[in-house]
Amino acid sequence: MQIGRVQAIAGTANFKQLPEKIIRPGHERPENTKPFEGVSVPVISLSESHDILVKEIYNACSEWGFFLLKDHGISPGLIEKLWKVGIEFFNQPQEEKEKYANDPSNGKFEGYGTKMTKNLDEKVEWIDYFFHLMSPPSKVNHQIWPQTPSSYRHCDRYVLGPSESVTDTAILNHVTEEYNKELKKVIETVLEQLSEGLGLEGKVLKSWVGGDEIELEMKINMYPPCPRSELVLGVEAHTDISALTLLVPNDVPGLQVWKDDYWITVDYFPNALFVHIGDQIEVLSNGKYKSVLHRSLVNKERTRMSWAVFCAPPHDAMTGPLPELLDEKNPAKYSTKTFAEFRHRKFNKLPQ
């Protein structure tokens, strides 16, 4: 089945009728699966004292698998630049974007695309995206990064935060690479808190997820307005294959997480990072932390966008319950396999 670009479909003059391949089955449609009202997701400040931070992150990740992180140290100016260059890419002519087209069916995941994984009924989600590796440097292919707009990798001037001063490194920055550098610090801190929440030394989870070879994958999600948003999904319900996913959205809500048999809407929180626990942390923790089931809705009138960074092990890393957490009373709940095998099974909807 040939897949057209969703942004192109949405931009068609007098677009009114949705293609059948876009319309979700009745039990998946937002109009039939409304969220539970009056419940808010956990919000955690990275400025809390160490013991409180460990406890709050443990509670959020064992009960929700998700939290909003504020006071994380990444300047609002850098996040704004990240938004700007992502928007500029999707505002380019279609033929320019197609120069970066990927081909997931043949294992080419990096680049510009519409459909990444299989689903059983071959439905298409209301999303276009750009996906590429940011780290480690040895695996980054800058040739697949957008050359236009040039500001995707370079910016004329970095917008300073209130505590920053003008320095040479604040001018002519690489926007995405600068974000990668700052996000690594946050990821390391979160992994340390998660380790300590399990009663382990702070470096344990980072070591098992890959140490300095942890892969950071950027996925810019673009959800155009849809006149029949009650019939479609931006991204269908799923858990992330990653260890962690850290996401920043624009100000158009749409993310929902699954909690206690209900969908819970995640409201926009300026400059917060949306932190998802992924499959690898659930497996490594032997189920003490939960990989959050979530989905993305779209808006009738406004474009929704998000910048998700997946923190994943190298393909040859072994993933399974940490030996330190296992004993006669706590046997392994998950099998051990390479991340490459786990990934193959996940993307092809095969049992683990």
Q: Which residues are catalytic?
A: 219, 238, 240, 294
Please, where are the H alpha helices in the chain? 6-10, 50-63, 76-90, 94-98, 175-197, 204-209, 279-284, 339-347
Contact between 66 and 282 under an 8 Å Cβ cutoff? The reply is no
Return the amino acid letter for 323.
P
Extended beta strands in the chain, E state? 43-45, 66-70, 111-113, 128-135, 215-223, 235-238, 244-249, 255-259, 262-265, 273-277, 294-296, 304-312, 318-319, 337-338
The DSSP symbol for 100 reads T
219 beta partners: 131, 308
Cβ density class 179-204: b for 16+ within 10 Å, e for less: bbeebbebbebbbbbbbbbbebeeeb
Backbone angles phi, psi at 339, to 5 degrees: -65, -35
110-142 burial string, b = 16+ CB within 10 Å, else e? bbbbbbbeeeeeebbbbbbbbbbbbbeeeebee
Alpha-carbon gap, residue 18 to 291, rounded angstroms = 32
Please name the residues in contact with 324: beta carbons below 8 A apart, sequence gap of 6 or more.
200, 204
